[in-house]
Amino acid sequence: MSVTAADGFEAAGVAVGLKSSGNLDVAVVVNRGPLKVGAAVFTSNRAKANPILWSQQAVQDGVVEAVVLNSGGANCFTGSFGFQTTHQTAEKAAELLGVGSADILICSTGLIGTGDEVFRAKVLDGTERAIAAASADGGDAASLAIMTTDSKPKRSVVTQGGWTIGGMAKGAGMLAPGLATMLVVITTDAVLDASDADAALRRATSVTFDRLDSDGCMSTNDQVTLMVSGASGVRPARDDFADALTQVCLELATQLQGDAEGASHDISIEVVHAASEPDAVEVGRSVARNNLFKAAIFGNDPNWGRVLAAIGTTAAQFDPYDVDVWMNGVRVCSGGGPDASRDDVDLTPRSTRILIDLKVGDASATILTNDLTHDYVHENSAYAT
């Protein structure tokens, strides 16, 4: 059910020809209330798509009536025409729902730099058709409509204490923080005000989506939206809601990692005993973005020297000659020198765990990444053809 698992929401996915495959390509998620609270976080890329520019302004009052999403075109670097398309999409949705256009968020995903009158007409038609089709059973169709190079939809639902959180996500490439490239819509029927929703969303994304770093490439269209209907009538404790929201975000982030373009290994890089959490994140990310390390994992080669070389480029506090490294449970490096034989390490499973012990403090962090494969290079060499 994804985004319609929580009471008070309707959704739909329709096909209007934005994708050459003919698959579903326009989705809507509508909040029927009684609350119409919303919060969102966006890409930190300075190059932002038109829907991001629109939604950043629209969400500022903490009210979100609906989200309209399209795949098959990013509507980024399409000039004033592209922004007008976004504006007209919001106006179309608002007219059909009887609400203000400033309370409609817009999301787009697909190829950057393309957009014309045909694209606009299809998006507007899809908006009208999706709103007409929206229902409490439409969550799964909506999650299919936002897919691009994804091989499967990403969904998560958590229910506790009489309230529910449901979410859907898309993303398979350009997975790197601020945020990882994605469109995500999360709904809840819990009772929350705008400030609590915003705080919980930022707390959850900071330790989930922002730590998914599959290929080091940051998108122009990232948006994670939280919509609150309050339909359950239950106001959860702030920490309880934030923890449940973090669980949903982590499940979605893990599904994104598992569907990353061309990947053959899902790599978890856990950094422990760091002087600070930012240090742990910096060290983990330095490994996640190291192409030599990622290529070694693709080849099932436990080349721990590439781990030490990568973390040595950081400003984090540690002694590079007193670091331990484990690969899939085998300590291959102790105190900056060789430990167990590389022959003891089995890297053939898709799930790969790297543990780095910096031995200087009590902080830790985990970064999620993937290996660098021939398939990744091939897929991205032909993305626009």
Catalytic residues: 181
Number of helices (H), then strands (E), belonging to the chain: the values are: 10, 15
Which segments of 43-153 are extended strands (E)? Answer: 66-70, 104-108
* Residues whose CB falls within 8 Å of the CB of residue 51, separated by 6 or more in sequence, listed in order: 75, 86, 105, 106, 107, 108, 221, 223
Distance CA 258, CA 270 (A): 17
- Amino acid (1-letter code) at residue 199: A
Distance CA 187, CA 165 (A): 6
Q: Do the Cβ atoms of 135 and 3 come closer than 8 Å?
A: no
Q: Do the Cβ atoms of 195 and 233 come closer than 8 Å?
A: no
Burial class (CB within 10 angstroms; exposed 0-12, middle 13-18, buried 19+) of 258 = middle
H or E, element range at 133: helix 117-133
Distance CA 197, CA 212 (A): 22
Q: Do the Cβ atoms of 56 and 78 come closer than 8 Å?
A: no
CB atoms within 10 A of CB 34: 11
Burial code of 201-226, b = ≥16 C-beta within 10 A, e = fewer?
bebbbbbbbbbbbbbbebbbbbbbbb
Angle at Cα 278 formed by Cα 40 and Cα 59, nearest 5°? 10
**What SS3 class is residue 191?**
coil
Burial code of 47-71, b = ≥16 C-beta within 10 A, e = fewer?
ebbbbbbbbbebbeebbbbbbbbbb
Distance CA 65, CA 56 (A): 15
Distance CA 355, CA 15 (A): 45
